[in-house]
């Protein structure tokens, strides 16, 4: 049985996508859909050495996500599925965030050995209205079926949005028919706001009433943490990393100082320093980061359970190995710091923040 040692969030700087969902986070940014292609130049051998279990300290979960569709790449340099293969081959677990419509790449991945596929999960974004508009509903559901039939895991995730409300009954019927269960729900956020607020015109009472019909524990947990500033000691950076897969630049989470490049010298150990104090308005991906334990004992919710569904016939979306691994807590495989050490780290982070803001102001004055 494998236990999770670290959570490695991999950013793939590809900003191309075959869809144009109206709520897309990327569409809210200036750089969105600018057609940037990730230049994955490192060889497969380099990737397995850079992320070897020895260097990472044990078995990790690698979470692949792009600034567009993760599996969309033009034929230059190394394809992302080759990196995924390498990571699985050396014993890690991999999750891929995808709209599950790039069929040729999905088919290539599903040809991996069965033993590797058991450690692979597709996080399938179910863009119902966009799929309907582009006639992709059958492609999406056929690919989800192909993933399950090949022995990998797939979890179906729907983004609640006001425009979808008139279609909820249709979505429910389609989901039971094609996936054997209802999709899980995430929360649409508005990245254009400083607080990364809910993207909805509903009141919170209406929002709760409308979307609770999906009975999603993932959504229920997300609701408890959405918009709430985290002040507990966070081990992001020590038990997790956020790595740019193209450049090797790494920071503790989606935020934080202490940037390092983990590709520059593979003989050098990676620095695993905890962030301590979260600089973000809220932990918007806490359904993964917090259920897996970056803040120890934060919740009894387990990440595997909130990704899985039991179908009407009793079968599961997640393979037993994947469910078990994702249900692991990082705090069980890593040592926690004493209160004094935590306080020292937090004081250091506060000092760094003050220094950075003074430097920024000074530079403005000089210019």
> Which residues would be at the binding site for ligand SF4 (CB under 6 A)?
17, 19-21, 24, 26, 68-69, 99, 125, 127, 230, 234, 236, 253-254, 275, 278, 280, 283, 286, 289, 294
- Closer residue to ligand SF4 in complex, CB, 229/361: 229
Residue closer to ligand SF4 by CB (options 14, 319) is 14
Nearer to ligand SF4, 100 or 116 (CB): 100
Nearer to ligand SF4 by C-beta: 65 or 319?
Answer: 65
Q: What is the 3-state secondary structure (H, E, C) of the chain?
A: CCCCCEEEEEEECCCCCCCCCCCCCHHHCCCCCCCCCCCCCCCHHHHHHHCCHHHHCCCEEEEEEECCCCCCCCCCCCCHHHHHHHHHHCCCEEEEEECCCCHHHHHHHCCCCHHHHCCEEEEEECCHHHHHHCCCHHHHHHHHHHHHHHCCEEEEEECCCHHHHHHHHHHHHHHHHHHCCCCEECCCEECCCCCCEECCCCCHHHHHHHHHHHCCHHHHHHHHHCCCCCCCCECECCCEEEEECCCCEEECCCCCCCCEECCCCCCCCCCCCCCECCCCCCCCCHHHHCCCCCCCCCCCCCHHHHHCCECCCCCECCCHHHHHHHCCCHHHCCCCCCHHHHHHHHHHHHHHHHHHHHHHHHHHHHC
Minimum distance from CB of 27 to ligand SF4 (Å)?
7
Nearer to ligand SF4, 286 or 328 (CB): 286
Q: Give the span between the Cα atoms of 150 and 138, in whole angstroms.
A: 18
Report, in Å, the least distance between residue 241 CB and ligand SF4. 11
Closest CB to ligand SF4 among 14 and 59? 14
Least distance (Å) between residue 292 CB and ligand SF4: 9
CB 170 within 8 A of CB 126: no
What is the smallest separation between the CB atom of 234 and ligand SF4, expressed in angstroms?
A: 3
Shortest distance in whole angstroms from residue 184 CB to ligand SF4? 16
Q: How far is the CB of 12 from ligand SF4 (least distance, A)?
A: 12
- 33 vs 207 by CB, closer to ligand SF4: 33
Q: Minimal distance in Å, beta carbon 265 to ligand SF4?
A: 26
Tell the smallest beta-carbon distance from residue 171 to ligand SF4 (Å).
Answer: 16
Nearer to ligand SF4, 120 or 158 (CB): 158
């Amino acid at each position: 049985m494998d236990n999770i040692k670290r959570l490695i969030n991999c950013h793939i700087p590809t900003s191309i996508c075959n869809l144009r969902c109206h709520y897309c986070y990327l569409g809210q940014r200036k750089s969105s859909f600018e057609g940037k292609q990730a230049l994955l130049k490192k060889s497969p051998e380099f990737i397995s050495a850079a992320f070897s279990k020895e260097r990472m300290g044990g078995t990790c979960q690698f979470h692949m996500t792009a600034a567009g569709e993760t599996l969309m790449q033009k034929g230059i340099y190394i394809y992302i599925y080759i990196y995924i293969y390498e990571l699985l081959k050396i014993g890690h677990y991999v999750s891929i965030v995808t709209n599950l419509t790039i069929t040729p790449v999905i088919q290539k991945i599903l040809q991996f050995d069965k033993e590797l596929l058991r450690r692979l999960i597709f996080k399938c974004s179910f863009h119902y209205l966009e799929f309907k508009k582009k006639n992709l509903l059958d492609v999406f559901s056929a690919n989800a079926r192909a993933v399950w039939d090949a022995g990998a895991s797939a979890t179906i995730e729907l983004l609640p949005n006001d425009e979808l409300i008139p279609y909820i009954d249709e979505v429910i019927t389609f989901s039971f028919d094609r996936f054997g269960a209802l999709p899980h729900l995430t929360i649409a956020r508005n990245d254009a706001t400083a607080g990364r607020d809910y993207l909805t015109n509903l009141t919170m009472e209406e929002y709760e009433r409308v979307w609770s019909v999906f009975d999603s524990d993932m959504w229920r947990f997300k609701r408890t943490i959405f918009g709430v500033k985290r002040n507990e000691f966070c081990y992001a950076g020590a038990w997790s990393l956020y790595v740019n897969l193209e450049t090797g630049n790494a920071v503790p989470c989606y935020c934080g100082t202490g940037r390092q490049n983990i590709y520059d010298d593979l003989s050098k150990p990676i620095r695993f320093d905890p962030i301590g104090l979260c600089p973000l308005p809220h932990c918007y991906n806490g359904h993964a980061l917090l259920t897996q334990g970056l803040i120890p004992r934060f919740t009894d919710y387990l990440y595997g359970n909130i990704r899985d569904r039991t179908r009407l016939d009793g079968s599961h979306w997640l393979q037993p190995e994947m469910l078990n691994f994702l249900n692991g807590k990082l705090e069980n495989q890593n040592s926690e710091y004493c209160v004094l050490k935590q306080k020292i780290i937090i004081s250091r982070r506060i000092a760094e923040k003050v220094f950075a803001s003074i430097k920024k102001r000074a530079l403005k004055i000089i210019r």
